[in-house]
Structure 1
Amino acid sequence: MFMQKTDRNAIYSVLFRSGVMFAERALQKRHPDESLKHLTNLQVIKTLQSLKSRGYVSEQAAWRHYYWCLNNDGIEYLRGYLHMPTEVVPTTLQRRMEPVRMSRNSNNNNDDRGPRGGGGQREFKEREDRSTYRRNEDDKTGNVGAGAASLEFRGGFGRGRRWE
């Protein structure tokens, strides 16, 4: 398919920036990405199928969409094609800085109060009581559920029995 080099470069740069790309199978619709609004989905699909045939992206098709993921060979190829430095990597490979979270059990006070100011020992005792609910062997209603009853086979039902 004939395509201008600027359009191909726009598709390649969006793919390299994010590391993944998608396109709907509605071929005449415009692509939803802001920098690719002037291109149709057909142009995006054919460009990325070209990269797939060269082994630079992996393709996944689901319902009415195609999804492409850039692999390591594709990163190297696009880095050379777009003249990007080696420090620039797709956002799928960048590590996110997550805030450090305090655990709920840590508490500066050494008393029996929980993290919300309630009694921590009391909450533990309630959970322990609930876990032993209906666990007694004498309680016959505790044995209710799937697979709790013994199986018994009574022959004579169905098509296989002959009456003699």
Structure 2
Amino acid sequence: MFMQKVDRNAIYTVLFRSGVMFAERAPQKMHPEEELKHLTNLQVIKTLQSLKSRGYVSEQTAWRHFYWCLNNEGIEYLRGYLHMPTEVVPTTLQRRNEPVRMSRTSEDPRSRGPREGKERDDRTMYRRTERPNETDKTGNVGAGTANVEFRGGFGRGRK
């Protein structure tokens, strides 16, 4: 498919910056990406199919959408094609800066620490049984732990 170099460079730039790209399987629709609003989905699909055939992206399809992920060979190819320095990497390969989590104090009502007081006692009382030899319900869970009791007179066959 014939395409202007400016449009192909725009697609490659968006792909390199994010590392992934998608397109709906509606060829006449315009692409929703902000930098590619002037291109149709057909142009984006055909450009990325070209990269896929050369082994630079991997393609996934789901319902009416195509999804492409840039692999290591594709990163090297686009870095050379777009004349990018080696320090620039796609956002999929950048490490996220995890926000520093502040520890919550016990005065905070949303505190998720160990619960104390009445709530904790209610939970332990719920798990206890009335029988002296069985103290915890959690130990009595599973197949074969209950006493099997056969009582006649239930079900079919009894008139």
Distance 1:14 1:102, change over 3 A: same
**Backbone CA RMSD of aligned residues:** 3.3
1:133 match: 126
The amino acid that maps onto 2:115 is E
> Which stretch of structure 1 is more off in the superposition, 13-22 or 86-95?
86-95
Structure 2: 5+ residue runs without aligned partners? 132-136
Aligned residues: 141
Identity, in percent, stands at 74
TM-score (norm 2): 0.74
SS of 2:116's equivalent in the other structure is helix
CA 121–128 in structure 1, closer or farther in 2 if over 3 Å, else same: farther
Q: Taking structure 1 as the reference length, what is the TM-score of the superposition?
A: 0.72
Q: Structure 1: how far apart are the matches of 2:7 and 2:96?
A: 31
Give the superposition deviation at 1:58: 1.1
Q: CA-to-partner distance for each residue in 1:35-89, whole Å, 9 max, x for gaps?
A: 1111110110111111111111111111111111111111000000111111111
Runs of 4+ in 1 over 3 A off after TM superposition: 120-123, 145-152
CA deviation after TM superposition for structure 1 residue 137, in Å = 5.8
- Give the Cα separation in 2 of the matches to 1:121 and 1:7: 55
Query: Per the alignment, do residues 49 and 135 of structure 1 end up closer, same or farther by CA in structure 2, a change over 3 Å counting?
Result: farther
Unaligned runs of 5+ in 1: 108-113, 158-164
